């Protein structure tokens, strides 16, 4: 079995071959399917969802963020803090972004809230470089989201989670080695739609 770093490197290399047209089309499809998923987990408008800002060759999430906002939902975006912790900022169309000093991502400016705010969200859109059919996910390697989910699981307040990937990043069962600290997801959001995965922890 390939290591996580091998898979992460392979997927990143593949993503760099994607054209601007492919990225734009993927972003629009992710917005459509992601907003429908949001409606399925929280039928009422005005729910809060945790998302992230896809940068470079990651799946584009600005269309999704904008679509959720237009649907009446509130959106929280992450900020990397020391100790591999995340804080969160509410996004609006006027939100400005700055480069993180801790990770290769852009982060929103604004009032930072502790990760305990995520327990009250309707769902979490999670970054991933790959996810397999068992629900095992590979992130960017920082461990921020695994640590977030560990805390939510320990408190019993974990919302539904969905990993955002391109279609080719969805791998067969058994492709990704699972470690004790990993927290599987139950669904994947791809440009082709929402995929229900075989395994994953029970979610509230």
User: Which residues fall in the annotated binding site for substrate?
Assistant: 53, 58
The first and second tokens of residue 44, run together, are 């009422």
* Alpha-carbon distances of 196 from 37, 65, 139, 199, rounded to whole Å: 11, 22, 19, 9
Task: Calculate Rg over the CA atoms of the chain.
Answer: 16
176 neighbors 136 (Cβ within 8 angstroms): yes
The first and second tokens of residue 79, run together, are 């900020």
User: Which residues fall in the annotated binding site?
Assistant: 4-8, 53, 58, 137-145
Buried b / exposed e across 106-133, counting CB within 10 Å, b at 16+?
A: bbbebeeeebeebeebbbbbbbbbbbbb
* Alpha-carbon distances of 183 from 74, 106, 179, rounded to whole Å: 25, 24, 9
User: Which residues fall in the annotated binding site for ATP?
Assistant: 4-8, 137-145
The first and second tokens of residue 127, run together, are 């970054």
């Amino acid at each position: 079995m390939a290591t996580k770093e091998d898979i992460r490197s392979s997927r990143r290399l593949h993503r760099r071959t994607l054209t601007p047209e492919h990225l734009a089309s993927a972003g629009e499809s992710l917005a459509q399917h992601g907003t429908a998923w949001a409606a399925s987990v929280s039928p009422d408008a005005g729910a809060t969802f945790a998302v992230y800002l896809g940068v470079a060759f990651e799946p584009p999430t600005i269309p999704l963020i904008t679509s959720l906002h237009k649907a009446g939902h509130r959106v929280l975006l992450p900020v990397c803090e020391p100790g591999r912790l995340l804080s969160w900022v509410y996004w609006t169309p006027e939100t400005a972004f700055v480069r993180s000093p801790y990770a290769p991502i852009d982060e929103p400016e604004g009032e930072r809230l502790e990760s305990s705010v995520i327990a009250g969200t309707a769902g979490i859109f999670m970054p991933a470089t790959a996810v397999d059919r068992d629900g095992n996910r590979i992130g960017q390697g920082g461990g921020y989201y695994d640590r977030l989910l560990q805390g939510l699981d320990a408190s019993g307040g974990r919302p539904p989670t969905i990993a955002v990937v391109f279609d080719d990043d969805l791998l067969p069962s058994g492709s990704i080695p699972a470690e004790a600290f990993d927290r599987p997801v139950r669904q994947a959001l791809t440009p082709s739609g929402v995929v229900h995965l075989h395994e994953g922890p029970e979610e509230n």
